[in-house]
Amino acid sequence: MTDAEDRKPRSDEARSAFSATAVDGDATSEFAVPEGLAVPRGGVAESESTSEFALPKGLDVPSGPATEPEGSAFSPPRTYRAQDARHAFTPATGIPVVRLTKDVPWQDRMRTMLRMPVAERPAPESVQKAEEGSPAVPRVLDMTLRIGELLLAGGEGAEDVEAAMFAVCRSYGLDRCEPNVTFTLLSISYQPSLVDDPVTASRTVRRRATDYTRLAAVFRLVADLSDPDTAISLEEAYRRLAEIRRNRHPYPGWVLTAASGLLAGAASVLVGGDVIVFIAAALGAMLGDRLAWLAAGRGLPEFYQFTVAAMPPAAIGIALTLAHVDVKASAVITGGLFALLPGRALVAGVQDGLTGFYITASARLLEVMYFFVGIVVGVLVMLYVGVQLGARLNPDTALSSDPRPLWQIGASMLLSLTFAVLLQQERSTVLAVTLNGGVAWSVYGALHDTGELSPVASTAVAAGVVGLFGQLLSRYRFASALPYTTAAIGPLLPGSATYFGLLSIAQNEVDEGLVSLSKAAALAMAIAIGVNLGSEISRLFLRIGSAGKRRAAKRTRGF
């Protein structure tokens, strides 16, 4: 082969693209690494194939010392304890000294912590004993949300629900928690530290049921979890919560129907009714209760349940008038309305508004408005029918009755007793709330009938007494205040003012009807504000700590 032939480029067929060396030893592959750049392979056979994604050994980055594995936000920190937690910074004003005495109910202790900024919350006393394997954060948050769901569905105020959720979290060492309660949504966020990811969980309240026995059981569970001398595991707490959910109502259905009838009869006596009026109002209320149960069984919303429940008492009152029976038909209809007025939701809504939970308060008051409109529709339909049939209903018949203190006090106590049964209260609380209802009517009668004070002011003072006694009784028993206050305000509900307003509208006297309905709304607001004010006054006599501990928003200048 000549030199010219040696300088000619060889064809593609003369060389292999898949072999590192040719047969004659001088042909190389176009994919082969040049000989000068070859990285020593450390004794590996040349025929061994390597991955094109493998990093050459000469270019390996030396690995540093083994680092601690990244922690998970869903497990409690290994070195974190609630009692050893420290604040991220100290505010310029300093951290106030807060004495959370153990003999104070957990509601007040947790409410105190919730009303303070997170950075200013002092580390609480240790409650649950530390265990080897602490429960996972999601399970603690789930337990917290389930407890809050039962409290909110039972009618508890938003602030007390947040205090209960906060107490449960702190019982298991999660002190950097922020609960949030609205009308239908519960959420809670936990941040282990300033550098860890927060964990947030939520739960929706889709169904509400009035059962104060279940509410009291949940309060006892939270009190046991907050007790520093009691160590309750998460499994035990779940077991007790399941038992609370499975417990049946303390009173059967026929007892509730009879209680609604007795409540309407007692209310008719308060507005001047006699024995015949008592029986007629009781029959109308029991029939309305059964119709409401039938509507509920058919899946109708509560608006229609209130509408059909308001019709029978009005129909019976109109029938007695058409039959020319010498009775006060207005007292019969008024008594039936007492069993339907949503006093519990009204008090809870105004309480949420006064404590700063405006979204929840708006939703509760809107619910009250829908219930009230349902009652108005049911009564107005029957009143229009009665007017067309020629029934002569005089709005002043029930107002001309003379005060009967003994009969009215007895009727108010019976009304509170039956109201407590309708709320499914524990039997141990029925006597206390019955006496509280008698005291409320006595105060109202003394101020309105004897002292000739306006009915709105008299109602507000009487409701304040109810709230004061209810809070003191609940703190004495370390329980919720609702069972001691809700049924006691039953005699103060504006049933007569509501009826007279509806009757005036049915008789085309719209101006007088709107005035009477405005009076009913003023009485309802007076009840709710009085109960809340009495509750706040009662806390002034409790040993909660320093005066600045229960902080609230300060907006005295409109901004």
Q: What is the pLDDT of residue 59?
A: 59
Dihedral, CA atoms, 206, 207, 213, 217, nearest 10 degrees?
-20
**How far lies 524's CA from each of 31, 357, 519, 520, in Å?**
91, 19, 9, 6
DSSP summary character for residue 36: G
CA atoms within 13 A on the CB side of 4: 0
* Separation of alpha carbons 106 and 123, rounded Å: 15
* Separation of alpha carbons 282 and 291, rounded Å: 14
* Separation of alpha carbons 467 and 316, rounded Å: 35
Q: What is the pLDDT of residue 64?
A: 52
Tokens in use for 235? 């499994």
Q: In this structure, which amino acid lies at residue 175?
A: D
DSSP summary character for residue 141: H
> pLDDT tens digits for the chain (559 residues)?
555 555 544 544 444 444 444 444 455 555 665 666 555 554 444 445 555 666 566 655 555 544 444 445 555 545 445 444 444 444 444 445 445 545 556 666 666 666 565 555 655 544 444 444 556 888 889 999 999 999 888 888 888 898 889 888 888 888 788 899 988 899 999 887 777 788 889 998 887 777 888 888 898 898 888 887 777 888 888 999 888 888 777 888 888 889 999 998 888 888 777 888 888 889 999 999 899 889 888 888 888 999 999 899 888 888 888 888 777 777 888 888 887 877 777 778 887 887 788 888 888 888 888 888 888 888 888 888 887 887 776 655 544 456 778 888 888 899 999 988 988 888 888 888 899 889 988 998 888 888 888 888 888 899 888 888 888 887 777 677 888 888 888 888 877 777 777 777 777 778 888 888 888 888 888 888 888 787 777 767 655 444 444 455 554 444 4
Q: Are β-strands 185-190 and 199-204 bridged in parallel, bridged antiparallel, or unpaired?
A: antiparallel
Contacts of 143 (CB under 8 A, 6+ apart): 168, 234, 237, 238, 241
Tokens in use for 410? 């007895």
Residues in the chain: 559
Contacts of 297 (CB under 8 A, 6+ apart): none
Beta-ladder partners of 21: 28
* Separation of alpha carbons 252 and 243, rounded Å: 19
SS (H, E, C) 304-371: HHHHHHHHHHHHHHHHHHHCCCCCCHHHHHHHHHHCCCCHHHHHHHHHHHHCCCHHHHHHHHHHHHHH
SS (H, E, C) 61-80: CCCCCCCCCCCCCCCCCCCC
Q: Please name the helix (run of DSSP H) or strand (run of DSSP E) that holds residue 186, with its range, or none.
A: strand 185-190
DSSP, residue by residue, 149-178:
HHHHHTT--HHHHHHHHHHHHHHTT--SEE
Quick one: the chain helix, strand, coil %, rounded to 5?
A: 60, 5, 40
| Helix residue spans in 20-105 (DSSP H) | none
CB 222 within 8 A of CB 169: no
Q: In this structure, which amino acid lies at residue 277?
A: V
CB 523 within 8 A of CB 337: no
Q: Given strand 199-204, what is the order of strands in its sheet? A: 177-181, 185-190, 199-204
Tokens in use for 240? 């007790």
Q: What is the pLDDT of residue 44?
A: 46
CB 489 within 8 A of CB 364: no
Q: What is the pLDDT of residue 12?
A: 47
Q: What is the pLDDT of residue 29?
A: 56
Q: What is the pLDDT of residue 123?
A: 56
Contacts of 81 (CB under 8 A, 6+ apart): 130, 173
Q: In this structure, which amino acid lies at residue 492?
A: L
Tokens in use for 75? 């497990």
Integer-rounded Cα Rg, in Å, for the chain is: 36
Q: Which of 177, 183, 532, 480 is nearest to 358 (CA)?
A: 183
* Separation of alpha carbons 320 and 549, rounded Å: 59
Tokens in use for 525? 């607001």
Instruction: Tokens 């922690």: give the residue.
Output: 71
CB 379 within 8 A of CB 310: yes
**In 3-state terms, what secondary structure has residue 179?**
strand
Tokens in use for 144? 């917290």
Beta-ladder partners of 189: 178, 200
Q: What is the pLDDT of residue 6?
A: 52
**In 3-state terms, what secondary structure has residue 556?**
coil
Dihedral, CA atoms, 464, 215, 551, 80, nearest 10 degrees?
170
Q: What is the pLDDT of residue 219?
A: 87
Dihedral, CA atoms, 251, 498, 355, 487, nearest 10 degrees?
-30
Q: In this structure, which amino acid lies at residue 483?
A: P
**How far lies 166's CA from each of 140, 160, 182, 242, in Å?**
11, 10, 15, 20
